[in-house]
């Protein structure tokens, strides 16, 4: 059974499982799927309530923190128990392109050549990790939610703002992957 779980799940299994999260959350607890609000709940629980943005009953949303902890725990189990020790296999054309950017290590899902502590203190690493993290956080607040909240929950509820946000996420992702990221990796 563990050998089966170590293989990537096909889209026709993983997609419906993710999609079924929406009705389960709605039916069981009348809750919306989304992760980005959990940072606000953590801050509201730790920061004194004199800041208006954090002045609300965060304890009503404790389920969201448990949900996020479950995602973290599931990721840790996947990395430590279910991870496949074999190197990642990628298309030879992609390997040639990535080698031009100095990415040659495919032992993990995230290339260690660009994501590690020593790279963080370079211009390229700082832009990718700190700048990228800031932009994701800012964009999440500006869009009123994250990609999973809009694309999975919002679209399934036929919300026009979620459709607009998802289209913008996709356009931004294409621009980032094809124009901006190659420039940053060439630094």
pLDDT for 186:
84
For 51-67, the pLDDT digits (tens) are 887 888 888 888 888 88
Greater model confidence, 80 or 96: 96
Sorted by sequence, the CB contacts under 8 Å of residue 112 that are 6+ apart come out as 105
How far lies 105's CA from each of 111, 113, 114, in Å?
A: 6, 6, 10
The tokens describing 95, both together, are 């390997």
pLDDT for 30:
85
- CA separation for the pair 55, 49 (Å, rounded): 5
Q: What percent of the chain has pLDDT over 90?
A: 20
DSSP class per residue in 70-117: HHHHHHHHIIIII---SPPP--HHHHHHHHHTT----SSSS-TTTSSH
Greater model confidence, 110 or 124: 124
For 18-64, the pLDDT digits (tens) are 888 888 888 888 887 778 888 888 888 888 777 887 888 888 888 88
Q: What percent of the chain has pLDDT over 70?
A: 96
What are the boundaries of each domain within the chain?
A: 1-83, 114-187
Q: Please check the confidence at residue 70 and state whether its pLDDT lies above 80.
A: yes
pLDDT classification of 2: cutoffs 50, 70, 90: low
pLDDT for 6:
66
| DSSP percent split of the chain into helix, strand, coil, nearest 5 | 70, 0, 30
């Amino acid at each position: 059974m563990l050998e089966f779980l170590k293989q990537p799940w096909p889209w026709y299994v993983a997609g419906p499982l993710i999609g079924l999260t929406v009705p389960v959350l709605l039916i069981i607890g009348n809750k919306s799927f989304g992760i980005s609000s959990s940072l606000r709940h953590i801050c509201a629980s730790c920061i004194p309530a004199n800041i208006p943005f954090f002045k609300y009953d965060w304890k009503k949303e404790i389920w969201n923190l448990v949900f996020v902890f479950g995602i973290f725990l599931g990721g840790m189990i996947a990395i430590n128990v279910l991870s496949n020790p074999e190197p990642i296999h990628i298309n030879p054309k992609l390997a040639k392109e990535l080698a031009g950017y100095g990415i040659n290590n495919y032992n993990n899902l995230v290339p260690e050549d660009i994501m590690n502590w020593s790279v963080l203190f370079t211009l390229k690493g700082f832009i990718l990790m700190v700048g990228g993290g800031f932009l994701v956080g800012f964009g999440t607040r500006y869009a009123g939610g994250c990609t999973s909240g809009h694309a999975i929950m919002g679209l399934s509820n036929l919300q026009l703002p979620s459709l607009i946000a998802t289209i913008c996420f996709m356009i931004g992702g294409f621009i980032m992957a094809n124009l901006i990221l190659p420039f940053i990796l060439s630094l």
